[in-house]
Amino acid sequence: MSGNMEIKLRRADTIYVIDVIGEMDLYNAFKLKDVVRKMIEKKIRHYVINLDQVPYIDSSGIGALLQVFADIKKNGLSLRITGVKGSVRKVIELTKLAQYFPIVAELDLAIQQLKASD
Amino acid sequence: MSDIKSIQLNEDSPLFQKKGMFHKKFASDFRQIRYYTLMVMQKAPPEIKEINLLEQQISELIKNAVKHGNKKDPRKIVEVWFHFDPSSAHLIVQDEGRGFKALEAWNEFNRRRTECFLRQDFEAMAEFVSFHTPDSDEHDSGNALFAAVEYWDRGVVFNRARNAVAVAKSFPQRRHGIELA
Amino acid sequence: MNLLWAKLFTTLLLVALLVAVARSGRPRGLAIWAVLAGVLLARDLGYLAFGRELIVPLAELVVLALYLLWVRLFTGLQAADVVYLAVNFLALIAGAASFFLPWLPLTPAALSLLLLADVVYLAILLGLVSPYNTEGAEILMETRFVIIAGLFLVQVIGLLYGYAAPLIHNLLLPAAALIHFYVLLAYNRHLHAESRQAVQFYSTNLDSTFEFMENLGNAITAKIDLPRVLEIIIASAVHNIGADAGAILMVDEYEDVLRVRATRGIYPPLAPVPALARVNTAALKRYFQETPIPIGETILGEAVKSGQALLVRDAREDPRLGANREDDILFVSSLIAVPLVVSKRVLGVISTLKRAENRHFQDTDFQHLKTFAEYASITIDNLYTYLEVLEKRQMEREVDIAAEIQQKLLPGELPKLVGGSLAVHSRPARGVSGDYYDVLPLDQDKVALLVCDVAGKGIPAAMVMIMIRSITHLLVSPRLEAAATLTGINRGITGRIDVDHFATLGLVIYDQARRQAVYANAAHLPLLVWRASASKLLRVDAEGLPIGVEREGKYGQRRFDLERGDILILCTDGILEAMSPRNEQYGLKRLADVVQAACGLPANGLVQAIRADIERHAAGARQHDDQTLLVLRIE
């Protein structure tokens, strides 16, 4: 499949940063759901999804974000989404989800917020 | 005019006029959706504002036709008519499926969803983040259409059989400053 | 010595002072003072001639009317003034008439009462003057106490003692002239100070404008960087007019909103701000920078919409700054906003603030910023034009680079074949093509012909082309079948994270010895085969996905024999979809007709014939897509 996407994990104390790299499209978006599902099983509490390196997102990508957000909320865990810019921001705005998602402008700020909630 | 946009149902919409449009046929191969999209995009002038967004929106329409219309049946084809210039885009995407039965239900869903949004009531909006029909799978959320009615500012119109959708958008033209009245 | 002369002497002194003032510049209202001196002179001469006491209050009537006119020079005439002037005028006429009609009951005492009323009216007028309602109010405010007190005293004494008593006549009247002296001197001093200030204003304005232009000049020669130029403009403006904060907002390129492009100091939004953005200055700054302002909204949006510069001396008095009144992070004390206008187009707005309480901008600051804004507008407009040219050139350069890469990818000259003739035609739609073709001799007998259409444009497409070409050149061998070659190419391209492009590719391997061809196809157009024996154009296709869709994609192939006179045609969409001015596609039918007509010609002649026919069809209509045509004729 074209437009591959990779997911990389970083850890800052109790907070896991999920770097999404590449296009979150109909072929790749499911990968994020799988990764987060496994992380929830491992009882990880704080998540930051960093979309800084995502040049393209489609409705499947948005769907994946919605699913992940719902799973995280259902388990009483916390999520921040950062690096939302360019066409990714546009697509999220078009779907009217910009305020629904816990979007934070910068990664550092997201980590700070999650730390404070600990 | 209300703030809430909806999908129209109008066989006679001028958006269904195919004269002068390019035409392509694609097999309903889910793997090739982004490729089909690029084939269409090849005719789009690069001056178009946010051309990646246009590509994404076209990809959603083709995906709907392949997935929900033709149920990924490779014997069924998707036909696309398209026309671009630097200030507008116009597409018709037609499949061989049974038509978008849930159109009215979707409009109602979108209306209630948008009302939550206009009230800035994101608690209530949580109930409306995903639109599901008996046919949809776990990957469907209806987001493609939520975005489509916003993006295609000159309309999203289905034909009577509900298996063809026509969309059009005008692009703002770049300028520096505004003229004084 | 008769003190009578003292009166005349003071009047003459007044005239001398007037002449001096007139020579040092012509302040407005000088004529009023000249008339006043004339009236006093006439009064004294008239008194000498007639010795009538009534002359004095009559002259005073005129003097007070002149004072009114002088004050009104600053504040503008009001309806009540007409009544005042009319009453004074009637009294004057009546007074003059009573010289000749002694039965008229007009006494100096009655006139004195009127004069007192006049002074009271004048006192009210002067009392109302403030810097906020009157331009140049300073001179009135400076002299008003002396004017009112002096004139009042004179009229009261006149009323009580009459004007005939020598002591009054010879002391009071000359002393009263001192009032006029005082006012005239103060006026003169004031005018001097004003002109000195004006000179100073122009010179500092010039200095700072030069400094500003120099800064800008440096910024521009270093590197065209619009954000930096805007930073310099706002920094210079804030510094030069002693503001606490400043901002430049520009009209968005597409939407009717203003976007913050440069700030200096803490410039708060001039509208209510959500609590979250008020927690600290960093949050406030970010909120201001990220929140677009619709044109027409807030005081800044209004300035852009109207194109009018505005000075809000005291923010507390302007309802548009209602959100910035509290003593908090949003507080604004005084504001200037000047739209950046170039030939009736508003590019944006520059604004400065004073944020310390009770510190207000002055008219001179306003003038300063207007001068800046004018210069900045022209500079920014020029930069826009320059950047557009640069951008266009950049795009052209990219096209050039891609075209150059592509040119190197294409075979310079087609190889000569023993059993056939080869020819090609390739024409990009816009400088750079997404089409790639190649002819590769594999051994003495076999030759590979391929035509490839990369989806996408520019350098990324050219990179995909390079990859396809490299892999193809590496893979092809006389022992590898066409289908297997495609499988290899696809596997090499697909799934690379930096490649999100696709390509269709049609590959023919022709064996000259056996007169046999194999066609494998990655979703490209079918191969067109002209059968000389049947006089028919056939389509030969094989199964396969485009390159780049699926790594494990499988490719089929078709093998078929050829005869002398048969023709193989590989082409791209751009050929069959070439549009006529009436939006008709060229199409297979028309192509078949030309091939039939020209099938006797060698490949070169055939390509020329097809090309000419497409050009006839297009008749100058815009070419939408790249056109490539590769022809092999079996000889």
Q: Which of B46-60, C167-181, C530-544 has the lowest mean pLDDT?
A: C167-181
- Residue count (chain A): 118
Nearest to C151 by CA among C175, C185, C126, C176: C176
C1 pLDDT more than 50: no
Query: Quick one: closest CA in A to B152, which residue?
Result: A94
B22 interfaces chain C, CB cutoff of 8 Å: yes
Q: B113–A96: do the CB atoms touch at under 8 Å?
A: yes
pLDDT, residue C544, reads: 93
Q: What is the pLDDT of residues C383-395, one digit of tens each?
A: 888 888 888 888 7
Q: A1–C550: do the CB atoms touch at under 8 Å?
A: yes
Residues of chain A contacting B, Cβ within 8 Å:
1-3, 25-27, 29-30, 55-60, 62-63, 66-67, 70, 86-87, 90-91, 94-97, 99-100
B1 interfaces chain C, CB cutoff of 8 Å: no
CA angle C204, C205, C207 (to 5 degrees): 60
Full set of structural domains in chain A with CATH: 7-11+13-107 (3.30.750.24)
Determine the distance from the C-alpha atom of residue C238 to the mean position of all C-alpha atoms in its chain, rounded to a whole number.
19
CA dist C593 → C313, C536, C617 (Å): 82, 10, 13
Q: Is B124 exposed, middle or buried (0-12, 13-18, 19+ CB in 10 A)?
A: middle
Q: Which of C496, C500, C501 sits opposite A23 (nearest CB)?
A: C500
C37 pLDDT more than 90: no
Amino acid at C117: A
Q: Which of C497, C501, C551 sits opposite A6 (nearest CB)?
A: C497
Residue owning tokens 């005084």: C334
3-state secondary structure of C137: helix
Spell out which residues of chain A touch residue C496, defining contact as CB-CB under 8 Å: 4
Task: Tell me the sheet residues that pair with C560.
Answer: C517
Spell out which residues of chain A touch residue B52, defining contact as CB-CB under 8 Å: 55-56, 86-87
C190 pLDDT more than 80: no
3-state secondary structure of C262: strand
Q: Tell me if the domain spanning C413-634 has CATH number 3.60.40.10.
A: yes
Mean residue pLDDT across chain C:
86
Spell out which residues of chain A touch residue B146, defining contact as CB-CB under 8 Å: 94-96
* Chains in contact with chain B (at least 3 beta-carbon pairs closer than 8 A): A, C
Secondary structure (DSSP) of C302-351:
HHHHH---EEES-GGG-GGGGGG-SSSTT--SEEEEEEEEETTEEEEEEE
Pick one of 3.40.640.10, 3.30.565.10, 1.25.40.340, 3.30.460.80 as the CATH number of B8-170.
3.30.565.10
C612 pLDDT more than 90: yes
3-state secondary structure of C631: strand
Edge-to-edge order in the sheet of strand C516-522: C435-441, C446-454, C503-511, C516-522, C557-561
pLDDT, residue C498, reads: 55
pLDDT class for C141, splitting at 50, 70, 90? confident
Mean residue pLDDT across chain A:
91
Q: How far apart are the first and last CA of chain A?
A: 40
Model's pTM, two decimal places? Answer: 0.67
Q: Which of B38, B46, B173 sits opposite C455 (nearest CB)?
A: B38
The hierarchical CATH code for the domain C223-389 is 3.30.450.40
pLDDT, residue C222, reads: 55
pLDDT, residue B132, reads: 79
Residues A96-100, mean pLDDT to the nearest whole number? 91
Q: Which of A59-63, C11-15, C65-69, C560-564 has the lowest mean pLDDT?
A: C11-15
Residue owning tokens 């994101």: B122
Distance CA C113, CA C176 (A): 18
- B vs C, Cβ pairs < 8 A, gives 73
Sign of CA dihedral A88, A92, A94, A98: negative
C255 interfaces chain A, CB cutoff of 8 Å: no
Q: What is the pLDDT of residues C419-430, one digit of tens each?
A: 899 999 998 877
C504 interfaces chain A, CB cutoff of 8 Å: no
Q: Is C246 in contact with C350 (CB distance < 8 Å)?
A: yes
Q: C500–A3: do the CB atoms touch at under 8 Å?
A: yes
Spell out which residues of chain C touch residue A6, defining contact as CB-CB under 8 Å: 497
Checking DSSP bridges between strand C435-441 and strand C503-511, what pairing results, if any? unpaired
Q: Which of A106-110, C193-197, C459-463 has the lowest mean pLDDT?
A: C193-197
Nearest to C281 by CA among C236, C235, C249, C245: C245
Q: Is C330 exposed, middle or buried (0-12, 13-18, 19+ CB in 10 A)?
A: buried
Distance CA C53, CA C56 (A): 6
Q: Which of C381, C500, C573 to mutate to test the interface with B (most CBs of B within 10 A)?
A: C573
Q: Is C486 in contact with C520 (CB distance < 8 Å)?
A: yes
C376 pLDDT more than 70: yes
pLDDT, residue C220, reads: 61
pLDDT, residue B141, reads: 65
pLDDT, residue C499, reads: 53
Q: Is C270 exposed, middle or buried (0-12, 13-18, 19+ CB in 10 A)?
A: buried
Tokens of C107: 């006494």
For residue C308, which phi and psi values (nearest 5 degrees)? -100, 135
Residues A87-104, mean pLDDT to the nearest whole number? 92
pLDDT, residue C3, reads: 52
pLDDT, residue B1, reads: 39
Tokens of C44: 């004294």
Spell out which residues of chain B touch residue A90, defining contact as CB-CB under 8 Å: 50, 53
What is the value of ipTM here, to two decimals?
0.87
Q: Is B61 exposed, middle or buried (0-12, 13-18, 19+ CB in 10 A)?
A: buried
Q: Which of B97-106, C180-189, C584-593 has the lowest mean pLDDT?
A: C180-189
**Domain locations in chain C as residue ranges:** 4-196, 223-389, 413-634
C496 interfaces chain A, CB cutoff of 8 Å: yes
pLDDT class for C133, splitting at 50, 70, 90? low
Q: Which of C248, C276, C344 to mutate to test the interface with B (most CBs of B within 10 A)?
A: C344
Torsion of CA C188, C190, C191, C194, to 10 degrees: 160
Q: What is the pLDDT of residues C233-268, one digit of tens each?
A: 898 889 888 899 999 999 999 889 999 999 999 999
Q: Mark the ranges of chain B whose per-residue pLDDT is less than 70.
A: 1-2, 136-141
pLDDT class for A1, splitting at 50, 70, 90? very low
pLDDT, residue C205, reads: 63
Amino acid at C462: A
Q: Which of C345, C434, C583 sits opposite B179 (nearest CB)?
A: C345
pLDDT, residue C139, reads: 80
pLDDT class for A24, splitting at 50, 70, 90? very high
Shortest CA gap A39–chain B (Å): 20
